[in-house]
Amino acid sequence: MSHSARHAEALGARLPPLLVTAERVAATVAQGVHGRRRVGQGDSFWQYRPFLPGDAVNRIDWRQSARSDRAFVRETEWEAAQTVALWRDGGETMRWKKAGPVEKAERAELLLLALAALLLRGGERVRLIGTEGRPVSGLDRLASLLGQMNDPGGVPPEAPLPRHAQVVLIGDFLAPLETIQAAVGRLAAIPTRGHLLQVLDPAEALLPYEGRVRFEGVRREAATLISRVESVRDAYAARLAAQQDGLQAICRAAGWGFSVHRTDHPAEAALLGLYMALAPQVGRR
């Protein structure tokens, strides 16, 4: 098991398995372990009911029927598994740290894997946006897929997701709001529900530089010389707040959740936030 997977598992082990609410589950949803308290397709026994004309003969439970004069049909509980699609920004802007203990990408991967561990323990189907193929059921496989994932970063790529899937996006979301809105809108139109977590380095949140600094983009795309950084700190904070407000608005419009995490804060707090966002809320149903 890879190091990050092990770390994530340890992190997730402190929370109970996560059962994602699957609302409005359609027949297209793959079968899973969520007992729907209704008769349906599944493996768990639900009830016996008397044989009715029209039932297929091969559905008669002969053992039960032999106990009496009547024939019984065995019915199983309708179970459904929810698909949760995860994505983290693996771009160059994420591979950076200044004031925080770890790179943003590392923290994002940790959170993603921890969340996946919780989901897998809950029996959910987890898949990664940006990789081909089927949902995965093992944390190891997920970690190795994560390693192979080739992501230019910025916004999640288009992906054929099942309807009513849950989506969790983790990244720094410093791209222009329009591109983010387009991406979220695309996902929300499937339709999906989801959550967007912005991971920031403390240096990005606070701009702790002083004096004459020439800032260069991580991708060396452009540069700007600021003669006294401390004098623009407030303006920067306002711009960052505007970006976060924009993200919040985008999410609200799509019916998604939004939260911010700084890498110098404990990962557990962010994981708990995600857990709360995904878990079935008491009283909401």
Question: Least Å distance between CB 226 and another protein?
Answer: 6
- Interface mask toward another protein for 204-243; x: CB under 8 A: x----x-xxxxxxxx--xxxxxxxxx-xx--xx--xx--x
**Interface pick for another protein out of 201, 256, 258, 275 (rule CB under 8 A):** 201
- Footprint of another protein on 14-73 (CB under 8 A): none
Closer to another protein by CB, 34 or 104: give it: 104
Strand-strand pairing, 193-200 and 166-171: parallel
Annotate 168-205 with b (16+ C-beta within 10 A) or e (fewer): bbbbbbbbeeeebbebbebbbebebbbbbbbbbbbbbb
Least Å from the CB of residue 74 to another protein: 59
CB of 78 to another protein, least distance (A): 47
Closer residue to another protein, CB minimum distance, 176 or 280: 176
Residue 96 as a binder of another protein (CB under 8 A): the answer is yes
Closer Cβ to another protein, 157 or 217, answer by number:
217
User: Which amino acid is it at 248?
Assistant: Q
Nearest approach in angstroms of CB 214 to another protein is 4
| Separation CA 199–CA 207 (nearest Å) | 15
**Which tokens hold the place of 261?**
């995490």
In the complex with another protein, which residue's Cβ is closer, 174 or 190?
A: 174
Q: Does 150 sit near another protein (CB under 8 A)? A: no
Residue 269 contacts another protein per CB under 8 A: no
Q: Which is nearer to another protein, 91 or 122 (CB)?
A: 91
Q: Are 237 and 203 in contact (CB under 8 A)?
A: no
Which residue number, 109 or 172, has a Cβ lying nearer to another protein? 172
- Between 163 and 212, name the residue whose CB sits nearer to another protein: 212
Site for another protein in 166-185 (CB under 8 A): 172, 174-176
Which CB atom, from 133 or from 211, has the smaller least distance to another protein?
211
Among the residue ranges 75-83, 88-96, 108-116, 131-139, the one whose residues contact another protein (CB under 8 A): 88-96
**Which range of residues in 6-14, 65-73, 86-94, 260-268 is near another protein by CB under 8 A?**
86-94
Binding site for another protein (CB under 8 A): 92-94, 96, 104, 172, 174-176, 201, 203-204, 209, 211-218, 221-229, 231-232, 235-236, 239-240, 243
